[in-house]
């Protein structure tokens, strides 16, 4: 259907539209008009992706100069593929309606592992191996060597691409990863480099967060993207953690040992080269004197792990004399390593700021701040000069040099914590140096500064106002959308008491309380008897889950549950978990029924959807507060309080509630889906907690379901499940939660739609 | 009313939020909504008739009754099992009333096994006796869909192709314990054109959705006891025959009931063939239906002759199932204000008090809601139309 969104003609590839989709597009249009950033929350399963795509594509067509490019960031490869498929549908609709072939180029980009078509390289299992092998075939000096020695192995796909691929742009169309591979095979071009090259002139790019947020990757992939782009972060409820992770470094003793080996190798290579080709090192020295800003057009393949964000002025400067020659630099690295080693030899926890660290290192081993800043860049240069083919081996030393650069560049927003042992195993010495970023805005700042519009969207972003604060940006639109429903297909219940009136809570004091554990077991047992097919239960942590399950086993509760359903447990082992997940789905499929016990913040809670029968109920056992005794967290909380005036408790609650919302949101993946959401902790009933749930869940929590006993919850659930099992046809939705164009344009509906968006 | 008394005691029922449905009108009175509610409960949804569709009139139906642990649940009173069995008795009666030339068998499943309670027969008494006995069964373990389906298939697959082969499962449990992959047996059912319907007593189970969708059956979940009854009654009407089922002529015998007078010297009491295998029931009798082909004696119809295999029915039986093919058209619902003339129901002659009235589309007679239900559920013909056709000469 064709929509008119405040004067903009939008092609929407379906015959029906949800009211909230219309409302979402309205808000989005306003954001783009204002050339600002936006935070939009819309429940999952209400067609967020297609609304985004339709509106932005329409906007691009209407104002090609205002919004030249859409950069769509998603989290996982399957999600990327889904976006491309939606886009394909949209484009087909366009060409059908307008009759002309539009010159739209849209493509997905992923790592070499997903795009490589070289027969040997692509058969490798790990991303790192693929990257390393690819590098050893395509690095510029390898290719230069080949001129003198034609027997050297080379990737013919890259050669072919390099020879002709750049002249001929990728023909217009929609390319997902497989399409790119097919195209590459047909032409004999390397799909990865083709895609990386093509994103510069593509209209729409779909790729992972890291290509934009991780400074090491962003620098080489997304550096040249046009300023007038619209950037969308989908599923962005965890964006602050992604930012922080991309800037943090953890150093262990094992890593330092590997680093040592790296440095030894470097030294040997330097010796060898000195005997054979001393001129090369001299050449490098000359270049370093001139400055770091070098033409690296021909070297795009060389930069394997580029430097973290450096202020521009550093790049203009020359590398300081102390680390200019190769030997000096290696010696410098050695000193630095020894210093780190000595720091790891601690008996108690040390926490210090970057400035303190720099002062200490200067006093102890006389390392100045300036050479440290250039460490990462200098290492890259050395690796290039030494023509080391397999860079994957040098990840340890690269990491250390990145750390050196970061610690000397940023005085604010970072902290250094050295822990002699893990908290759980205080007897085993396992020293770790955490260089932890506390300010997510550092990593994302370039994105907000560079691009015209950045949209942050997800199904669970509540409370919305906290994101602009912790990411330090000023949005023009903040809106939350509700889900219009023809039948209330979600049933959030807060179970605060057991049948014996014992308060249910996972708070620290009652964690070991048998009465609570028994009541939790009772809740699961009773639910397993009345909920069909799949139940997903979330615990607050692995340790807590282990304790509870062990205790249930002793009390015989597990045995009783297993009469109703099979039990699967998520573990920290990814392979084990995916196996459990597969079997869980099988058991749901063939009617046996299953329970999946998993952990909030785990793999299951983030990436796995439990559509329809795979998840008829979610039970949250307790509130998923993050482990508050962690020193990194404490440091971060302190920083948030000092810098952003966010109280510790506010942030902790926000973090717990967004994870709880994420977990329970796993069951509702659309309007035809239905599911129970059971919050088994009396603390959820409190207004400050409840108020932080997304609006589309909050709306359905009635006052009478705030502090239920297990029995009451069972009664309500039974009733709900029976109601939901009644036939539900599309006609029931029409006009209420599903609209035709005609219904949409009626006055009354437009009136209603304005109420869907909830501005904060 | 009958249903009312069967209802659970208020304090035993679930939490009902009856006050939420009530809304005050402008004058602050609740009367209007209460009346509306009563009216709605009276007026059941008229089943949409298929028009002229071939129906599978000769039905072979297996009813699978779940007797697993979950049947002890007390949300139906006194418990699910007793309530189900009671409703099943009514179902069997009604079923044979409306489908006289069809047969039923009952299977129970519990403790991962399936057992035949009664074989496929056309004799309602046998089933009802078995159901009465089954009240005392102990419910334990899990049911097995696979085993019950395969047990039903064993018999149904030998039934002739022109009959409609059906399985109705009453499933209370939310889990099933199967020895093998159930999707295999769904394929088999599909290839044998056996229609499987499920009535769930607790919630929607995925495997049942697939099972019914693949085999073309219905899947419903009950809300309460009266809804359960309604859903059971849905299965009394013969399903439309699949277009691919074969057609064939069926030989049928129409025996007459002959009673030898007691004065007749030659009269000898004889055994009914149908009672030979069962020890109960009356033994010797004088009269009965005699098979026109082999003269075997039966006391009840319809039955398949044990000796020559001929289907024995009486003409009224056939006529009774006739109305399924030509259902009475639904009456037109309209507001009572639009009615001109007398405000009396044509059938009961009572005054029309409800807001809505029902008009027969062919003779334009007016009926009240009770009579409309009676006409459609029991009479299957409009009394006024009949009356006008048979005008006395």
What pLDDT digit, counting tens, does each position of A354-384 carry? 889 999 999 988 888 888 888 887 887 788 7
pLDDT given for residue B17 in this prediction: 56
Residues A422 and A558 in one domain: no
Is 70 exceeded by the pLDDT of residue A310? no
Q: Which domain holds residue A673?
A: 490-727
What are the residues whose beta carbons fall under 8 Å from the beta carbon of B151, sequence distance 6 or more? B107, B114, B115, B116
pLDDT given for residue B3 in this prediction: 40
Out of B297, B322, B347, a domain closes at B322
Q: Is residue A738 part of a domain?
A: no
**In chain A, % of residues over pLDDT 70:** 94
Residues B266 and B361 in one domain: no
> How would residue A302 be classed by pLDDT, with cut points 50, 70 and 90?
very low
Q: How many CB atoms lie within 10 A of CB B15?
A: 10
Instruction: Report residue A467: phi and psi, to 5°.
Output: -65, -50
Residues A385 and A426 in one domain: yes
Out of B295, B322, B349, a domain closes at B322
Best interface-test mutation with A: which of B144, B203, B226, B230 has the largest number of A CBs within 10 A? B203
Residues B160 and B274 in one domain: no
Q: Is residue B223 part of a domain?
A: yes
Q: Is residue A143 part of a domain?
A: no
Number of compact structural domains in chain A: 3
| A:B CB pairs within 8 Å | 80
Instruction: Yes or no: say if B185 and A598 are a contact pair by the CB < 8 Å rule.
Output: no
Separation of alpha carbons A325 and A542, rounded Å: 50
Best interface-test mutation with B: which of A535, A591, A709, A717 has the largest number of B CBs within 10 A? A591
Q: Is residue B11 part of a domain?
A: no
pLDDT given for residue A309 in this prediction: 47
B222 at A interface, C-beta within 8 A: yes
Could B204 and A532 be called an inter-chain contact, meaning their C-beta atoms sit closer than 8 Å?
yes
pLDDT given for residue A290 in this prediction: 63
B176 at A interface, C-beta within 8 A: yes
Q: Which domain holds residue B378?
A: 328-390
Instruction: Yes or no: say if A132 and A391 are a contact pair by the CB < 8 Å rule.
Output: yes
Distance from the A697 Cα atom to the nearest Cα atom in chain B, whole angstroms: 21
Residues B110 and B197 in one domain: yes
Residues 39-78, chain B: which have Cβ within 8 Å of A? 69-70, 75
Separation of alpha carbons A580 and A583, rounded Å: 5
Number of compact structural domains in chain B: 3
Separation of alpha carbons A264 and A679, rounded Å: 56
pLDDT given for residue A759 in this prediction: 65
Residues A477 and A617 in one domain: no
Instruction: State the DSSP code for A535.
Output: E
Q: Which pTM value belongs to this model?
A: 0.84
pLDDT given for residue B41 in this prediction: 57
With the C-alpha atoms ordered A501, A505, A510, A512, is the resulting torsion angle positive or negative? positive
Is 90 exceeded by the pLDDT of residue A525? yes
pLDDT tens by residue, A594-604? 999 999 988 88
Low-confidence ranges of chain B (pLDDT < 50): 1-8, 45-50, 393
Average pLDDT over residues A135-155: 78
Is 50 exceeded by the pLDDT of residue A301? no
Of B14, B175, B183, the CB nearest to A565: B175
Is 80 exceeded by the pLDDT of residue A308? no
Contacts of B149 in chain A (CB under 8 A): none
Q: Is residue A432 part of a domain?
A: yes
pLDDT tens by residue, A383-429? 877 777 666 678 888 888 888 888 888 878 889 999 888 766 777 77
| Buried residues in B210-243 as b, exposed as e (16+ CB within 10 A) | bbbeebbbbbbbbebbeebbebbbebbebbebee
Q: Is residue A415 part of a domain?
A: yes
Residues B118 and B226 in one domain: yes
ipTM over 0.85: no
Is 90 exceeded by the pLDDT of residue A548? yes
Of B203, B205, B221, the CB nearest to A591: B205
Is 80 exceeded by the pLDDT of residue A730? no
Residues B167 and B277 in one domain: no
Residues A368 and A473 in one domain: no
Q: Is residue B13 part of a domain?
A: no
Average pLDDT over residues A66-72: 87
Separation of alpha carbons B122 and B102, rounded Å: 6
Read off the CATH number of the domain in which A458 is found.
Answer: 3.40.50.300
Best interface-test mutation with B: which of A708, A725, A729, A731 has the largest number of B CBs within 10 A? A725
Q: In terms of pLDDT, which residue wins out, A270 or B38?
A: A270
Could B204 and A721 be called an inter-chain contact, meaning their C-beta atoms sit closer than 8 Å?
yes
Average pLDDT over residues A338-360: 88
Read off the CATH number of the domain in which B160 is found.
Answer: 3.40.50.410
Residues A498 and A401 in one domain: no
pLDDT given for residue A298 in this prediction: 35
Q: In terms of pLDDT, which residue wins out, A415 or A751?
A: A415
Q: Which residue of B has its CA nearest to A613?
A: B206
pLDDT given for residue A314 in this prediction: 55
- Give the pair of three-digit tokens for residue A193: 């480099």
A677 beta partners: A492, A618
Average pLDDT over residues A431-445: 87
pLDDT given for residue B123 in this prediction: 79
Distance from the A265 Cα atom to the nearest Cα atom in chain B, whole angstroms: 58
Could A563 and B221 be called an inter-chain contact, meaning their C-beta atoms sit closer than 8 Å?
no
Contacts of A612 in chain B (CB under 8 A): 206
- 3-state SS assignment for residue A605: helix
Residues B129 and B191 in one domain: yes
Pairing of strands A475-481, A757-759: antiparallel
Residues A435 and A503 in one domain: no
| Per-chain mean pLDDT for chain A | 85
B179-to-A35, A605, B146 alpha-carbon distances in Å: 63, 33, 7
Residues B311 and B366 in one domain: no
Average pLDDT over residues A420-440: 82
Average pLDDT over residues A17-24: 89
Instruction: State the DSSP code for B292.
Output: T
Q: How many helices and strands in chain A, by DSSP H and E?
A: 34, 22
């Amino acid at each position: 259907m064709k929509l008119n969104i405040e004067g903009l003609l939008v092609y929407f590839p379906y015959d029906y539209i949800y009211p909230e989709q219309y409302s979402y597009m309205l808000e989005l249009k306003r954001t783009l008009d204002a050339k600002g950033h936006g935070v939009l929350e819309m429940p999952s399963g209400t067609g967020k992706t297609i609304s985004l795509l339709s509106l932005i594509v329409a906007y691009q067509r209407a104002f090609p100069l205002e919004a030249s490019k859409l950069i769509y960031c998603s989290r996982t490869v399957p999600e990327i593929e889904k976006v491309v498929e939606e886009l394909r549908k949209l484009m087909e609709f366009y060409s059908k309606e307008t009759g002309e072939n539009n010159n739209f180029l849209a493509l997905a980009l992923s790592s070499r592992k997903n795009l490589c078509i070289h027969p040997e390289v692509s058969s490798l299992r790990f991303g790192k191996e693929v990257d390393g092998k690819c590098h050893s075939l395509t690095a510029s000096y390898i290719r230069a060597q080949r001129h003198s020695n034609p027997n050297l192995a080379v990737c013919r796909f890259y050669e072919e691409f390099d020879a002709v691929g750049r002249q001929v742009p990728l023909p217009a169309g929609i390319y997902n990863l497989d399409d790119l591979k097919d195209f590459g095979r047909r032409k004999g071009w390397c799909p990865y480099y083709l895609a990386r090259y093509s994103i510069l002139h593509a209209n729409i790019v779909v790729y992972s967060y890291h290509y934009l947020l991780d400074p090491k990757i962003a620098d080489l992939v997304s550096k040249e993207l046009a300023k007038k782009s619209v950037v969308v972060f989908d599923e962005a409820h965890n964006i602050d953690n992604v930012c922080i992770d991309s800037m943090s470094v953890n150093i262990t003793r094992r890593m330092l040992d590997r680093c040592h080996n790296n440095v030894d190798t470097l030294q040997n290579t330097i010796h060898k080269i000195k005997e054979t080709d001393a001129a090369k090192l001299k050449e490098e020295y000359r270049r370093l004197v001139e400055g770091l800003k070098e033409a690296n057009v021909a070297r795009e393949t060389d930069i394997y792990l580029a430097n973290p964000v450096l202020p521009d002025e550093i790049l203009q400067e020359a590398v300081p004399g102390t680390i200019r020659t190769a030997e000096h630099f290696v010696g410098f690295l050695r000193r630095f390593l020894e210093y780190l080693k000595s720091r790891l030899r601690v008996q108690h926890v040390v926490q210090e700021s970057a400035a303190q660290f720099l002062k200490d290192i200067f006093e102890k081993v006389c390392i100045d701040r300036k050479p440290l800043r250039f460490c990462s860049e200098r290492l890259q240069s050395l690796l290039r000069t030494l023509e080391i083919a397999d860079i994957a081996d040098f990840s340890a030393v690269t990491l250390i040099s990145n750390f050196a650069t970061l610690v000397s560049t940023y005085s604010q927003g970072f902290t250094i914590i050295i822990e002699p042992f893990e908290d759980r195993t205080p007897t085993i010495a396992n020293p770790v140096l955490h260089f932890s970023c506390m300010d997510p805005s550092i990593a994302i700042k370039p994105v907000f500064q560079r691009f015209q519009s950045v949209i942050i969207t997800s199904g669970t972003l509540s409370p919305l106002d906290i994101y602009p604060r912790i990411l330090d940006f000023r949005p023009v639109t903040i809106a939350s959308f509700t889900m219009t429903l023809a039948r209330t297909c979600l049933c959030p219940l807060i179970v605060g008491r057991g049948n014996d009136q014992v308060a249910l809570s996972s708070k620290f004091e009652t964690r070991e309380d048998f009465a609570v554990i028994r009541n939790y077991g009772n809740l699961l047992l009773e639910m397993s008897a009345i909920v069909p097919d799949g139940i997903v239960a979330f615990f607050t942590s692995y340790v807590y889950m282990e304790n509870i399950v062990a205790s249930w086993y002793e009390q015989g509760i597990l045995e009783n549950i297993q009469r109703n359903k099979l039990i699967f447990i998520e573990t920290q082992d990814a392979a084990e978990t995916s196996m459990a997940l597969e079997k869980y789905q099988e058991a749901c499929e063939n009617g046996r029924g299953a329970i999946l016990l998993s952990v909030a913040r785990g793999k299951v809670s983030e990436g796995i959807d439990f559509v329809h029968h795979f998840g008829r109920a979610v039970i949250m056992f307790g509130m998923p507060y993050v482990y508050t005794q962690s020193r990194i967290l404490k440091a971060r909380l302190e920083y948030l309080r000092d810098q952003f005036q966010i109280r510790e408790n506010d942030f902790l609650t926000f973090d717990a509630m967004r994870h709880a919302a994420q977990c329970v949101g796993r069951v509702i993946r659309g309007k035809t889906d239905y599911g129970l959401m059971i919050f088994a902790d009396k603390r959820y009933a409190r207004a400050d907690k409840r108020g932080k749930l997304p609006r589309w869940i909050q709306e359905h929590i009635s006052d009478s379901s705030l502090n239920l006993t297990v029995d009451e919850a069972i009664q309500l659930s039974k009733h709900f499940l029976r109601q939901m099992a009644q036939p539900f046809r599309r006609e029931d939705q029409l006009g209420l939660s599903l609209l035709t164009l005609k219904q949409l344009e009626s006055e009354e509906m437009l009136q209603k739609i304005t109420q869907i968006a909830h501005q904060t | 009313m009958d249903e009312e008394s069967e209802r659970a005691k208020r304090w035993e029922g679930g939490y009902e939020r009856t006050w939420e449905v009530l809304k005050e009108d402008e004058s602050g009175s609740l009367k209007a909504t209460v009346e509306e509610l009563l009216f709605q409960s009276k007026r059941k949804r008229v089943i949409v008739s298929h028009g002229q569709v071939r129906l599978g009139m000769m039905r072979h139906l297996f009813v699978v009754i779940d007797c697993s642990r979950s049947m002890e649940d007390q949300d139906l009173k006194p418990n699910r099992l007793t309530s189900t069995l009671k409703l099943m008795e009514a179902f069997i009666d009604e079923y044979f009333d409306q489908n006289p030339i069809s047969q039923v068998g009952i299977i129970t499943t519990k403790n991962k096994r399936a057992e035949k309670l009664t074989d496929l027969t056309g004799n309602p008494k046998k089933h009802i006796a078995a159901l009465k006995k089954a009240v005392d069964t102990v419910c334990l373990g899990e049911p097995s869909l696979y085993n019950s389906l395969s047990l039903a298939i064993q018999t149904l697959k030998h039934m002739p192709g022109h009959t409609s082969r059906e399985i109705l499962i009453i499933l209370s449990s939310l889990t099933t314990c199967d020895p093998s992959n159930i999707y295999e047996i769904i394929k088999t059912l599909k290839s044998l054109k056996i229609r499987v319907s499920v009535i769930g007593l607790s919630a929607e189970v995925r495997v049942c959705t697939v099972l019914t969708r693949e085999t073309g059956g219905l899947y419903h979940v009950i809300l309460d006891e009266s809804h359960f009854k309604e859903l059971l009654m849905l299965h009394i009407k013969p399903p439309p025959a699949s277009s691919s089922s074969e057609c064939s002529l069926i030989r049928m015998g129409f025996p007459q009931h002959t009673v030898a007078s007691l004065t007749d010297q030659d009269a000898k009491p004889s055994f009914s063939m149908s009672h030979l295998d069962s020890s109960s029931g009356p033994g010797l009798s004088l009269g009965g239906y005699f098979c026109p082909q082999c003269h075997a004696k039966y006391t009840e119809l319809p039955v398949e002759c044990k000796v020559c295999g001929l289907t024995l029915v009486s003409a009224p039986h056939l006529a009774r199932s006739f109305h399924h093919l030509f259902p009475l058209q639904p009456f037109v619902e309209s507001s009572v204000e639009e009615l001109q003339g007398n405000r009396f129901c044509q059938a009961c002659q009572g005054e029309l008090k409800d807001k809505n009235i029902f008009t027969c589309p062919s003779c334009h007679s007016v009926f009240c809601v009770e009579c409309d239900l009676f006409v459609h559920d029991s009479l299957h013909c409009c009394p006024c139309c009949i009356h006008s056709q048979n005008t006395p000469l």
